[in-house]
Chains A and B, each alone.
Chain A
Amino acid sequence: SQTIHQWPATLVQPVGSPLSLECTVEGTSNPNLYWYRQAAGRGLQLLFYSVGIGQISSEVPQNLSASRPQDRQFILSSKKLLLSDSGFYLCAWIPAGGGEAFFGQGTRLTVV
């Protein structure tokens, strides 16, 4: 069966420090991968999505970047965190042919 792992679950980082959140998928190949930020009253904001290795689409200008070094690995990064980067980040995957999205457990990032 397919599973999605996202870590860490919680993270507290100082302003100006780097960030790396990792998401991996098991049990499937060539998934479409997504990073969302979930905020109260703003719903799920799509940050990045990827349809293949090295292929990244960015949805909103921001202090974050994404990479897909392997087929089932999706990484969310920042070189220097801002206070406004605090939030709840969700990774998701969808089969290449479309259909249901499967979400990770999420990462609560607090920038102090």
Chain B
Amino acid sequence: AQRVTQPEKLLSVFKGAPVELKCNYSYSGSPELFWYVQYSRQRLQLLLRHISRESIKGFTADLNKGETSFHLKKPFAQEEDSAMYYCALRPGGYQKVTFGTGTKLQVIP
């Protein structure tokens, strides 16, 4: 069975500090990994996906198959980054998408 683990419910950092939101997954095959973000009073939306290998709003995430991790990183946090972040997994060839429990990022001015 597929599983996504986000160990931190809340992560508080100061503005300008580096950010790392952790995500670990369990799946025996080759999954598709995503990060979704929900800003206050907005819909849940895609932030980035591992196959794109791009940086969005300064965030990057690298899929580490050896450690089964997909941590989200940003070198310098900004106040507007405060939001709820969800890691998600979709097994290759299947339609079931599993989300983690989410991490609330709080950037302190």
Contact = CB atoms under 8 A, between A and B. Distances in A.
Contact residue range for chain B? 20 to 34
A94 B95 contact: yes
Contacts of A44: 44, 86, 88, 99, 102
A46 interface: yes
A65 to B, nearest CB: 18
A62 B32 CA distance: 28
A51 B95 CA distance: 8
B31 to A, nearest CB: 11
B49 A49 contact: no
B57 interface: no
Interface residues of A, number: 23
A43 B97 contact: no
What's the dominant secondary structure at chain A's contact region? Answer: strand
Given A49-B95, A98-B32, A90 B101 contact: no
Contacts of A104: 43
A36 B65 CA distance: 27
A59 B94 CA distance: 14
Interface in B64-109: 86, 88, 90, 95-102
Contact of B101 (A41, A92, A101): A41
Contact of A101 (B46, B100, B102): B46
Contacts of B99: 36, 43-44, 46
Contacts of A106: 43
A43 B36 CA distance: 12
Contacts of B45: 103
A62 to B, nearest CB: 17
22 contacts: A36-B99, A41-B9, A41-B101, A43-B86, A44-B88, A46-B97, A49-B95, A49-B97, A57-B96, A59-B96, A92-B44, A92-B97, A94-B90, A94-B95, A94-B97, A98-B90, A100-B34, A100-B46, A101-B36, A101-B46, A101-B97, A105-B43
